[in-house]
Amino acid sequence: MSDSADTPTEESFEPTEPNTGEEFEPVQVFPDEGTMDLRPGADSCTKCSTCDTNCPVAEVDDEFPGPKFQGPEQWRLKQTDDGDEFAIDDSIMDCSNCMRCDDACPSGVPLSQMHNEARGEYVDEQMSKLSTEYWRNRILANYRTSAWLASKVPRIANVAMNFGPARWVMEKTLGVTSEREFPAFATETFSEWWAAQGGAAGSRERARDARERRGEPLDADKKVAYFHGCYSEYNTPEVARALVRVYEHFGYEIVVPEQGCSGTPMFANGMLDDARRHAEVNVSSMADLVEEGYDAIASCTSCSLALRQEYPELFDIDGIEDVAENTFESIEYLRIHEDVRGALQDAEIEDELAEEFAYHAPCHARNQGLERQAVELFRDLDGVAVEDVGDSCSGISGTYGWKDEKYEKSMAIGEEMFDHMEDVESTTGMTECPTCSMQMEHGTGYDIRHPIELVAAALVE
Amino acid sequence: MASTPRIVVVGGGSTGAGVARDLAMRGADVTLVEQGNLTHGTTGRMHGLLHSGGRYAVSDQKSARECIEENRVLRDIASHCVEMTGGMFVKRPEDSDSYFEEKLQGCADCDIPAEVISGERAREREPHLATDVDKAISVPDGAVDPFRLVVANAASAQEHGARIETHSKVTDLLVESGEIVGVEVEHGAKSGDRVHGVQSGRETIRADHVVNATGAWAGRIGDMADLDVAVRPSKGVMTIMNVRQVDTVINRCRPKGDADIIVPHETTAILGTTDEEVEDPEDYPEEQWEVDQMIETLSELVPMLADARSIRSFWGVRPLYEPPEVGSEDPTDITRDYFLLDHEERDGLPGMTTIVGGKFTTYRMMGEEIADHVVSKFGMDADCRTADVSLPGSEEFSVLRDYMDEFGLRSPIGRRSVERLGSRAEEVLGTGEPNPVLCNCEGVTRAEVRDAISQAGADLNGTRIRTRASMGNCQGGFCIHRLAGELHPEFDEATVRDSWDDLLQERWKGQRHALWGNQLQQAMINYALHATTQNRDHDPATQPVDFAAFDSGPGSDRRLGSDTVGEAADGD
Ligand SMILES: Cc1cc2nc3c(=O)[nH]c(=O)nc-3n(C[C@H](O)[C@H](O)[C@H](O)COP(=O)(O)OP(=O)(O)OC[C@H]3O[C@@H](n4cnc5c(N)ncnc54)[C@H](O)[C@@H]3O)c2cc1C
Ligand code: SF4
Ligand code: SF4
């Protein structure tokens, strides 16, 4: 045993996984209900600071201590005794949850899990439930609820929400910046459209027709459950409609199960209870479908990331692992199973979409290894060019850039992306993330599209 | 003041520091002499368990009673050195039931509050405990920081007029007309103020009485006056884990055995220990298998330890003593009790008393007994006050506060600092100056480091033991240069460099026994960092640099000397 090559830890060492043993499952040791013990996650940290150099907030905000502190250091220093009302440093609320640190860490430290847990504890234990900050964050995090309301009267909402004096009041009383324009609500939600198309039954028929046309077996096992997320439900149903058309074109039957918010804005605001409520709905409907052989797809990269990574990291819900393993981003899934690039080679774009696109890869796409997919996919499509505007963060990070006190930082982070977008010939941008798209539009005035819309334009229309 | 007795205490471990404080508080003129820094000996290499006495409740009830008594005293007078984590004696299915019952009875006999809890309850308290642990006895064990405690004792002694000399070695005992009358001391020759007290040279310190509190070295001091003090040094290994896998002290409930305790200590957990007799307390083999075996054995209690990161291992030697007539074969059979040897009574040589054996937990009680003994020789009737007067730093203080508001520190950092500094927190942290964090792993700020330097001088190891700087997962890789920077400009470049090298070496020594997985990765990163930013792979500053041999840049004719590798390898 004196030879260190024989030490029991040797075989189990895996540089990209927290070196906390196969058995390691965070457990609850802290007195406050629900907080997991992530101290062992600090075992993988070598203090290399790669995470810090990749943090967009730390880059523009000297006060922000950075992910190394927020994650492994804060957790290692954390104490288990009850009653410390300052247990979590309040700088955790300055992290935008872009999760770039997660992706940057060469040692597999569970950084975003650490941030999410700490933020949840901070909001639960240390933030006053009577503070404006709490309610502002809660309202922003529960965008789905506001959007649902607004969608009942979209035209009025569009005017009212961006009505000058109303925005002034919102900024003064709630701390929601008046610099940004609220996104427009669609007059027809995706669900309304979907129902009008005959729902799942209609989809099955159209998929069968497509298979027949494509010379594929009629009973081919091509079934997906679509997680559309709040934004393409209420604001950009054109993205969801494009997805439906593209998938059906390739012979996929689509179902749209009951779903809530993915939880992304709730994680970022430390509202873990809210997030869990929605996660329970999502997991329970997705898990049944996964069992029946469906794969889950999402057109928003933050939604797919939530289902894949944050859910199993933060919650213990029946079927959560199966759902996580069978969830994909929509372009990613197509690229795995279909020769989309080949199909696009033979296609051509002529109409208004014949453009050069300024493509921004969302941080959450980066975390799933998807940051090059759009550039690669459209390389040989005639009539368009997709120009990567670099690997910076857009700066909005969901609700972050909507907060009055974060707005300037958000724009400072976005600066690099805006600059590169301006260098692109046209005035059209492309990204998979709805809030990145808001930021891109806000910073440059460009019109922003989702890659699935371009696929639809090339192959279906 | 002609009647004030002059006492020399040899040894700056817990025993020596405790005796020095006690005697100084009673009005004696005390000089403490230590060959290294404070805690250089066994005290700096122990497990950090504040015994409840449970461990000795079956085998040695006298020690057990002393432990619980002192455990209560230290919680009170040394609150900033103690964390009352609580402890459990856990029983695995293969451990004897009757021993479990004996243990419980023993605790009752010795007034140690003990309670049986089910395996389930035990796992609720410590979720990483093995699933087959069937029951446990909960006892008031705690964790204690030996460094802080000894430093506080020395500081208190100093407040009461004592002189503390570290890096000063006793090389001989002065014997005149059949009596020990002082010590011969060689002060450390290291440059600058690295020595706490007098620097360099020899000194004769005359004394009315000498207290030999040199632990495992007591025999050597005895030898200087031909006294036979048969200390039987016994080594034990301890392994420090990167994080706390447990928050209470976990003991295995079985008769004496190796590798049966896990002590949560500050940010870490310490595994220990073993018991093996050695010849020389300063030179004994440190073997990897001892570490491997300990991790393996303790994984039976806490399975995740098998794959968890350890940051270093270290060995300590117990100063075990037994009267020569006992003659135990196995060191684990030697009593953990302490012995006071009055050399006048025992060997007919007045002027010195030796104290050996015992435990860290009972250091104060040992100090009291020896101080009683010494003062009685001089007809003083001062009472012992060490059990009633708090140590510096342990006066009333609260760790629950708004650290950002009070000290401008991030919560976990402020909290750790205040815990370390205790009642001195305001004085040390409230400087009003910018106060960056220097050691990120342990959350140690510049103000705390500067305070430590004001006590320890240029000895960065002394700053380490006071602050925990460099004791976290990077083992000083990212902070020792910052600590060294704080020594300047008070100390010159050579001193700073010397001290910086010493601390790096000290940190490296312990890491050698943890070089696999993450700690190996850490060591490689530290190496790369030090090689590329500090030129530690080849430091020209230690040799005269021939600047003239450098190329003076583009456009000049002067080239490197023709024997350089670059030229030869170029080939053109
Ligand atoms: C592995 C291990 C684990 C332990 N764990 C615990 C525990 O968890 N709890 C507990 O209560 N006890 C524990 N102990 C016991 C405890 O550590 C010791 O009993 C105690 O620290 C002894 O302190 P000391 O001052 O007597 O000896 P030391 O700390 O060894 O002090 C003697 C000092 O004398 C100095 N010295 C020697 N020669 C000279 C000289 N010629 N001139 C000047 N100075 C000199 C040495 O440098 C040394 O600093 C443990 C012991 C070991 C070995
Ligand atoms: S999630 Fe983003 S903002 Fe938060 S610490 Fe990581 S890199 Fe920084
Ligand atoms: S990148 Fe990973 S290993 Fe490096 S400092 Fe950050 S958390 Fe630690």
Length of chain A: 461
Cis previous bond, B42, omega within 30: no
pLDDT in tens, B397-409: 887 778 888 888 9
Query: What backbone phi and psi angles, to 5 degrees, belong to B546?
Result: -90, 80
Tell me which chain B residue has its CA closest to the CA of residue A106. Answer: B521
The sign of the torsion formed by the CA atoms of A92, A98, A102, A104 equals negative
pLDDT in tens, A132-183: 999 999 999 998 888 888 888 888 888 887 888 888 888 888 889 989 988 8
Residue to mutate (ligand 2; options A101, A113, A116; most atoms within 8 A of CB): A101
By percentage, how much of chain A surpasses pLDDT 90? Answer: 77
Q: Is the pLDDT of residue B2 over 50?
A: no
Q: How confident is the model at residue B440 (pLDDT cuts 50, 70, 90)?
A: very high
pLDDT at B572: 34
Exposure on the CB side of residue B324, measured as CA atoms within 13 A:
6
3-class secondary structure, B29 = strand
pLDDT in tens, A368-387: 999 999 999 999 999 999 99
- Three-state SS letters, B106-142: HHHHCCCCCEEEEHHHHHHHCCCCCCCCCEEEEECCE
Residue type, B204: T
Q: Show me where the domains of chain A are located.
A: 39-126, 132-174, 190-337, 340-459
Burial A300-323 (b: 16+ CB within 10 A, else e): bbbbbbbbbbbbbbbeebeebebb
Token pair recorded at residue B409: 């520190």
Token pair recorded at residue A33: 């209900």
pLDDT at B541: 62
pLDDT at A82: 64
pLDDT in tens, B551-561: 777 766 554 44
Q: How confident is the model at residue A80 (pLDDT cuts 50, 70, 90)?
A: confident
Higher pLDDT, B407 or A301: A301
Q: How confident is the model at residue B200 (pLDDT cuts 50, 70, 90)?
A: confident
Q: How confident is the model at residue A16 (pLDDT cuts 50, 70, 90)?
A: very low
Higher pLDDT, A112 or B2: A112
Q: Which residue's entry shows tokens 């302490």?
A: B338
Token pair recorded at residue A386: 């997709």
- Is B309 within 8 Å of chain A by CB? yes
Q: How confident is the model at residue A15 (pLDDT cuts 50, 70, 90)?
A: very low
Work out whether strand B352-357 and strand B168-176 pair parallel, antiparallel, or are unpaired. unpaired
Q: Show me where the domains of chain B are located.
A: 6-41+147-230+336-377, 49-141+235-314, 403-538
pLDDT in tens, A90-99: 999 999 999 9
Residues sharing a CB contact under 8 Å with residue A227, sequence separation 6 or more, in sequence order: A259, A262, A282, A286, A296, A297, A298, A303, A304, A307, A327
Residues sharing a CB contact under 8 Å with residue A252, sequence separation 6 or more, in sequence order: A207, A222, A223, A224
Selecting from A6, A8, A43 the residue whose C-beta is nearest the C-beta of B309 gives A43
B497 lines ligand 1 (CB under 6 A): no
pLDDT at A32: 57
Chain A nearest CA to B513, separation (Å): 9
Residues in chain A closer than 8 A to B401 (CB atoms): 86
Q: Is the pLDDT of residue B337 over 60?
A: yes
As a whole number of angstroms, the distance between CA B150 and CA B19 comes to 11
Cα–Cα–Cα angle for B488, B491, B494, nearest 5°? 100
Residues β-bridged to residue A327: A296
By percentage, how much of chain A surpasses pLDDT 70? Answer: 92
Question: Could you report the predicted ipTM of this complex, rounded to two decimals?
Answer: 0.88
Selecting from A9, A15, A44 the residue whose C-beta is nearest the C-beta of B306 gives A9
- Is B518 within 8 Å of chain A by CB? yes
Q: List B residues 245-284 in contact with A (Cβ-Cβ < 8 A).
A: 245, 247, 267
Burial A89-125 (b: 16+ CB within 10 A, else e): bebbbbbbbbbbbbbbbebbbbbbbbbbbbbbbbbbb
Of A414, A174, A403, residue with least CA distance to A268: A403
pLDDT at A164: 81
CB pairs under 8 A between A and B: 142
The enclosing H or E element of B250 equals strand B249-252
pLDDT at B201: 84
Residue nearest to atom 37 of ligand 1 (CA): B214
Burial B18-48 (b: 16+ CB within 10 A, else e): bbbbbbbbbbbbbbbbbbbbbbbbbbbbbbb
Q: Is the pLDDT of residue A288 over 90?
A: yes
The sign of the torsion formed by the CA atoms of B125, B131, B136, B139 equals negative
As a whole number of angstroms, the distance between CA B368 and CA B9 comes to 14
As a whole number of angstroms, the distance between CA A80 and CA A65 comes to 22
Query: What backbone phi and psi angles, to 5 degrees, belong to B278?
Result: -130, 160
- Is B472 within 8 Å of chain A by CB? yes
CA dihedral (A423, A427, A432, A437) in degrees, to 10, reads: 100
As a whole number of angstroms, the distance between CA A443 and CA B422 comes to 51
3-class secondary structure, B71 = helix
pLDDT in tens, B443-468: 999 999 999 999 988 999 999 999 99
Compute the average pLDDT of residues B319-343: 83
pLDDT at A152: 85
pLDDT at B78: 96
Token pair recorded at residue B560: 């490197």
Q: How confident is the model at residue A1 (pLDDT cuts 50, 70, 90)?
A: very low
A141 vs A184, A404, A439, CA distance in Å?
A: 18, 15, 17
Q: B6-41+147-230+336-377 with B49-141+235-314: one CATH topology? A: no
Specify whether the CB–CB gap between B250 and B268 falls below 8 A.
no
pLDDT at B324: 77
Q: How far is the CA of B41 from the centre of ligand 1 (A)?
A: 5
Q: How confident is the model at residue A5 (pLDDT cuts 50, 70, 90)?
A: very low
Q: Is the pLDDT of residue A309 over 80?
A: yes
Does the distance separating the beta carbons of B411 and A90 come in below 8 Å? yes
3-class secondary structure, A447 = strand
Q: Which residue's entry shows tokens 């029983």?
A: B91
Length of chain B: 572
B49-141+235-314, CATH topology level: D-Amino Acid Oxidase; Chain A, domain 2 (3.30.9)
Of A325, A342, A362, A350, residue with least CA distance to A457: A350
Q: How far is the CA of A409 from the centre of ligand 2 (A)?
A: 13
Which of A293-302, B139-148, B324-333, B361-370 is least confident?
Answer: B324-333
Q: Model pTM?
A: 0.89
Q: Is the pLDDT of residue B543 over 70?
A: no
Chain A nearest CA to B491, separation (Å): 29
Q: Is the pLDDT of residue B392 over 90?
A: yes
pLDDT in tens, A31-74: 655 568 899 999 999 999 999 999 999 999 999 999 999 999 99
pLDDT at B571: 33
- CATH, domain A340-459, list 3.30.60, 3.30.1490, 3.40.50, 1.10.3470: 3.40.50
- The dotted CATH code for B6-41+147-230+336-377 is 3.50.50.60
Of B10, B8, B20, residue with least CA distance to B155: B20
pLDDT at B189: 63
As a whole number of angstroms, the distance between CA B263 and CA B87 comes to 9
- Is B142 within 8 Å of chain A by CB? no
Selecting from A28, A79, A84 the residue whose C-beta is nearest the C-beta of B127 gives A28
Q: How far is the CA of A363 from the centre of ligand 2 (A)?
A: 10
pLDDT at B401: 79
The sign of the torsion formed by the CA atoms of B354, B356, B359, B362 equals negative
Residue nearest to atom 6 of ligand 2 (CA): A101
A53 lines ligand 3 (CB under 6 A): no
CATH 1.10.1060.10 fits A39-126, yes or no: yes
As a whole number of angstroms, the distance between CA A370 and CA A333 comes to 11
pLDDT at A21: 42
Q: Which residue's entry shows tokens 């690997």?
A: A391
Residues sharing a CB contact under 8 Å with residue B509, sequence separation 6 or more, in sequence order: none
Does the distance separating the beta carbons of B414 and A1 come in below 8 Å? no
- Is B306 within 8 Å of chain A by CB? yes
Q: Which residue's entry shows tokens 């669609």?
A: A186
Q: Is the pLDDT of residue B197 over 60?
A: no
Q: How confident is the model at residue A428 (pLDDT cuts 50, 70, 90)?
A: very high
As a whole number of angstroms, the distance between CA B43 and CA B151 comes to 11
Higher pLDDT, B564 or A358: A358
pLDDT at B540: 58
Residues β-bridged to residue A112: none
Let me know how many helices (H) and strands (E) chain B has, helices first.
18, 23
8-state DSSP, A92: G
The highest-confidence range among A20-34, A76-90, A219-233, by mean pLDDT, is: A219-233
Side by side, the strands of the sheet bearing B179-187 are B168-176, B179-187, B201-206
A184 vs A73, A231, A232, CA distance in Å?
A: 42, 10, 11
Q: Is the pLDDT of residue B192 over 60?
A: no
Specify whether the CB–CB gap between B246 and B261 falls below 8 A.
no
Compute the average pLDDT of residues B361-372: 96
Cβ atoms < 10 Å from Cβ of B106: 23
A410 vs A63, A264, A406, A436, CA distance in Å?
A: 15, 18, 6, 11
Q: Is the pLDDT of residue B296 over 80?
A: yes
Token pair recorded at residue A229: 């997320």
Chain B nearest CA to A35, separation (Å): 13
pLDDT at A86: 78
Compute the average pLDDT of residues B73-77: 96
Compute the average pLDDT of residues B168-196: 82
Q: Which residue's entry shows tokens 């192959």?
A: A459
Query: DSSP for B154-201?
Result: HHHHHHTT-EEE-SEEEEEEEEETTEEEEEEEEE---SGGGSSS--SE
Tell me which chain B residue has its CA closest to the CA of residue A48. Answer: B525
Q: How far is CA A193 from the centre of its chain?
A: 24
By percentage, how much of chain B surpasses pLDDT 70? Answer: 93
